[in-house]
Homo-oligomer: A and B are copies of this chain.
Amino acid sequence: MGSERQEGRRQTRQLALVLAAVRAAGTDHPTAEEVFSRARLELPQISLGTVYRNLQRLVAEGRVAALALRGVRSLRYDPTIAPHDHFVCEVCGRIDDLACGPRPAAVAVAERKGHAVTSHAVVLYGRCGACRMPA
């Protein structure tokens, strides 16, 4: 195992750059547009379509994670593929990574109902430390 990557897929500069851009964002959870902006610094002629295609591929290959958040139209990308949860500040929009504890209790409930659970997402919403300050 471990060789399932790059079957007939080609290694292009654009792909490397998109991955690098997601990683460079650290814990910022960038949107495709933000990845695009960053990749452009190195390769000005890269196109947004290519960024989307490569993000899709990286997610499919499990090298990057995508997250859908309530109340936000665009997907966010995350270089941290180790399982973890997220906290979203409803005031400033900041997304904070959280070390995930044990698997959610809901997993056992789902399995008892006959479902096979392959992954899960836990997202918390509220006010972050900075946004709790009085106006």
Contact A117-B110, Cβ < 8 Å, known A69-B68, A100-B105, A105-B102? no
Number of copies of this protein chain within its complex: 2
Q: Is the interface of A mostly helix, strand, loop or mixed?
A: mixed
Closest beta carbon of chain B to A123's beta carbon, Å:
5
Say yes or no: is A81 at the interface (Cβ < 8 Å to chain B): no
When distances are taken between beta carbons in the complex, the residues of chain B under 8 Å from A96 are 110, 113, 115
Q: Which one of A101, A117, A120, A128 has the highest number of Cβ atoms from chain B below 10 Å of its Cβ?
A: A120
Are A113 and B125 in contact (CB-based, < 8 A)?
Answer: no
Residue numbers of A with Cβ under 8 A of B are 66-72, 85, 87, 89-90, 96, 98-102, 104-110, 113-129, 132
